[in-house]
Amino acid sequence: MQWVQLGYLLPLIIVGAGAIMLMLLSPLEKVSMERFSLFTFLILLSALSADFYYFGELFTSFPMQEIFSKMLIVDSYSVYFDAIILSGALVTSLIGTHYFQEKRHFKKEFFSLFLFSVFGMMLLVHANELLTAFIALEIASLALYVMIGFQKIHDKRVEASYQYLVLGSISGAFFLLGSAFIYAGLGTTILGDMGKTLDALMGKDVSLIIIGGTFVLVTFLFKISAFPFQNWTIDVYDGSPLPVTAFMAATFKVAIFGFVLRLMLIDLDPIRDIWDTLFIVVILATLLYGTFLAIIQESLKRMLAASSIVHTGYLLIAFVSIGYAGESASSSIIYYLVAYFLSAMGAFGLISYIAADEHIRVTYEDFRGFAHVHPYMAAMLSIFMLSLAGIPSTIGFVGKFYIFTGAIEAGYTFLAVCGIIATFISIYYYFKLIALMYFYPACESEWDDVPSLRGITPITIGFIAIAVIWGGIGNTFIAYFPGVDFLIESARLSYMSLFIK
C-alpha cells in the first residue's frame, strides 16, 4: 500500500469524513447550529490548507492504484480546481452564516448535505473515469436537490427542488447513456486510455463515440445551463435560498467545467472538431437568449440567474477555442470561472444579506435610493455589478480579456465580437441597478430592517469586493503578492499537468 499517496487525497478525505461526522452529530440536541456552522468552516479550512500543500507544483499521479485503479487522479489541475471549489464553499459558509441564523427552518443536516455536495464536486474534478464522474455528479446534485428544497413550507422552494430533481435526473441519464456508447465504441471508460484507443481508431468509424460524446455534452450543457437547456436556471435559482443559489451558480459550474475540460482536452481531442459548429450555434443562442431573459427581469435575483446564462455563453466561447488555442483558452476558462465565482458570490451573498429577514426585497425597484442609506453596501454591490459587466479595474474585465483574446487567437474573432455585443447590452441591466441605487432619493423608513454591517458575513463580502478589485488591478503596485499574474500562471500550470504522460 502506498500510504504516502493518501496525502494527495487528504482534502477529499477530510471533506468526506467531515460530512459523515456532521451527519452523525446532527441528532444531538446539545450541539447548536452555530457550532455546526463553525465545524463546517473548520473542515473546509483544513481541507483547503491540505490542498494548498501541493499548490503550485507540477505533478500528476494516480493515488492508491491497487484499490482505485485509475479511477482517481490527482494533479496540479485537480489541486487548482479543488482550491477554487473549497474557497467557494468556504465563502458560501461564511456568507451564509447570517442567513442560516436568521432563517430558523435550516436544520443541522443542512451542513452535512452541504459538505456532501462539496465532496461530490471535488470528486468530480478528481474523476478519471466516466462512471466515477457520474457518481460524483450525482452525489453533488442529490445533495443540492435537498438543499434547494430545505425550506419545505415554501412552495417556491419545493417547486424549484422538484424541477431541478426531475430535469437533473434526465440529464444524468444522458450521461450514463453516453458513457455506455463510449464504452461500446472504445472498450474503456478510463480517461487517458480512451484517448489512446480513439487515436488508434482514427480513420475508422467512430460514430458510436460521437453519439456517446454528444450525450455526455448534453449533460454538460444542462448543468452549466447553456441553450437549449437553460429553462430551469431562472426558476431554480430564484426558488433556492440565496446562499444555495450562490453556491450553485459559482461553485458547481467550476466543478462541471473541471471535469469536462479534462475529458475534452485529453480524450475526445481527436474528434472535438465535430462539435464546433454545434457549439457555435449553442453559444450564439445562449448569449442571445440569456441576454433577452436578463433584460426583461424585474427581480434582481432572477436577473442574476439569467445573466449567469450569458456568462455561460462567454465560457463556452473559450470552450470552443481550446481546439486552436489550447493553453490560452483553457486557462482563460479557469480564470473566468474564478472571476465569475467572486463576482456572483459577492452579488448573491450581499443580496441575501440585505434580504435576510422575511421581508423579501429583491426587485430592482426595491433598491431605489439604497446608496444614500447604506453607502458601503451599495458600493460593494456596484463593484460586483461592474465586475459582472466587465468594466476595467475589476476582475471580470481581466476575465473577459482572457476569454476574448483566446477566441481571437483561435481564429474565432466573430465569436469574440458576438461576446462583446452581449457584454455591451449587459451594461444596461447591470448599470440599471447602480443607477437606481445612486440616482434616486431614498425613502428612509424602508431601510430600517436592513441589518447593519456587522458580523462575519459583511466582512467576507467586503473581502470579496477587495479581491474583485485586486484581481482587476493586479500586482503592479505590490510586488510578490498574488494578483492577476499569479492566478493565470497557476491556471496555466494546472493546464500543463494534464499533458504529463
Partner 1 sequence: MSIGILSIIIFLPMVTAFLLMLIPLPSRPTRNVAFGVSLAIFALALYIYTHFELTGALQFKEFYPWIKSYGISYSLGIDGFSLIILMLIATLIPSAYLLLWKNERSKSYWINMLFIQSGISGTLFSLDLFLFYFFWEAMLLPVFMIIGLFGSGNRVFSTLKITIYTIMGSLFMFVSILYLGVAHYYEFGLWSFALSDLVNITSIARDQKILLFFGFMLAFAIKIPLFPFHSWLLQTYSNSPTGGVFLLSSIMAKLGVYALVRFMIPLFPDLFVEFSLYFVALGIFGLVYFGIAAISQMNIKKMFAYSSASHLGFITAGVFALNVQGMMGSAFLIVAHAIATGGLFLLVGVMERHLGIRSISGLGGIATKAPWFTLYFAIMLFCTVGIPGTNGFVAELLIVLGIFHYNPYLGVLSALTVLVAASYMFWVFQKAILVKSDNNVSHMKDLSRHEIVGLFPLAFLILAMGVYPDLFLYKIEPTLQHYLLDILHVGVH
| Contacts with partner 1, residue ranges (CB under 8 A) | 386, 391-393, 397-398, 401, 404-405, 408-409, 413, 416-417, 420-421, 423-424, 427-428, 431-432, 434-435, 438-440, 474-476, 479, 484-485, 488-489, 492
Closest to partner 1 by CB, 70 vs 492, is 492
Omega cis (within 30) before 241:
no
Quote the least distance from Cβ 409 to partner 1, whole Å.
5
Q: How far is the CB of 317 from partner 1 (least distance, A)?
A: 12
> CA-to-CA distance for 141 and 494, rounded, in angstroms?
26
Residue among 362 and 487 whose Cβ is closer to partner 1:
487
Minimum distance of partner 1 from residue 417's CB (angstroms): 6
CB of 134 to partner 1, least distance (A): 35
In the complex, least distance from residue 364 CB atom to partner 1, rounded to whole angstroms? 12
Give the span between the Cα atoms of 119 and 125, in whole angstroms. 10
Residue (59 or 376) nearer to partner 1, CB: 376
Question: Closer to partner 1 at the Cβ: 126 or 368?
Answer: 368
Measured from the CB atom, is 2 or 413 closer to partner 1? 413
Element (H, E) at 60: strand 60-61
State the residue for C-alpha cell 459583511: 458
Write the CA distances from 233 to 138, 222, 312, integer angstroms. 18, 9, 11
Tell me the three cell numbers of residue 237.
435559482
Nearer to partner 1, 224 or 484 (CB): 484
What one-character DSSP code corresponds to residue 269?
A: G
CB of 405 to partner 1, least distance (A): 5
- Shortest CB 328 distance to partner 1, Å: 9
Task: Return the C-alpha cell found at 118.
Answer: 462539496
- Cβ proximity to partner 1: between 365 and 489 the closer is 489
Closest CB to partner 1 among 189 and 387? 387
Q: Which residues contact 139 (CB under 8 A, 6 or more apart)?
A: 116, 117, 119, 120, 123
Smaller CB distance to partner 1: residue 356 or 498?
498
- Judged by beta carbon, residue 222 or residue 430, the one nearer partner 1 is 430
Q: How far is the CB of 188 from partner 1 (least distance, A)?
A: 36
Cell output for 272: 472535438
Encode burial over 438-470: b for 16+ CB neighbours within 10 A, e otherwise.
beeebeeeebeebbeeeeebbebbbebbebbeb
CA–CA gap between residue 59 and residue 79 (Å, rounded): 10
Element spanning 145, H or E: helix 130-148
Minimum gap (Å) between residue 435 Cβ and partner 1: 5
Helix (H) or strand (E) holding 491: helix 484-497
Listed in sequence order, the residues at least 6 apart from 343 whose beta carbon sits closer than 8 Å to its beta carbon are 384, 387, 388, 394, 395, 396, 468
Tell the smallest beta-carbon distance from residue 433 to partner 1 (Å). Answer: 11
Rounded (10°) angle between helices 207-223 and 155-186 = 160
In sequence order, the β-bridge partners of residue 75 are 60
Cell of 350: 450581499
CB of 325 to partner 1, least distance (A): 9
> At how many degrees (to 10) do helices 413-439 and 300-321 cross?
160
DSSP per position, 441-479 = ---GGGGTTSPPS-SHHHHHHHHHHHHHHHHHH-TTSST
Q: Quickly list DSSP for 371-394.
A: HHH-HHHHHHHHHHHHHHHT-TTS
Name the residue type at position 278.
Answer: L
Which residue, 49 or 413, has its beta carbon nearer to partner 1? 413
Nearer to partner 1, 267 or 409 (CB): 409
Min CB(427)–partner 1 separation in Å: 5
Q: How far is the CB of 390 from partner 1 (least distance, A)?
A: 9
Tell me whether residue 247 or residue 404 sits nearer to partner 1 (CB atom): 404
Task: Compute the Cα dihedral for 325, 326, 327, 331 and give only its sign.
Answer: positive
Cβ neighbours for 30, distance < 8 A, ≥ 6 positions apart: none
Measure CA of the first residue to CA of the last residue in the chain; give whole Å: 23
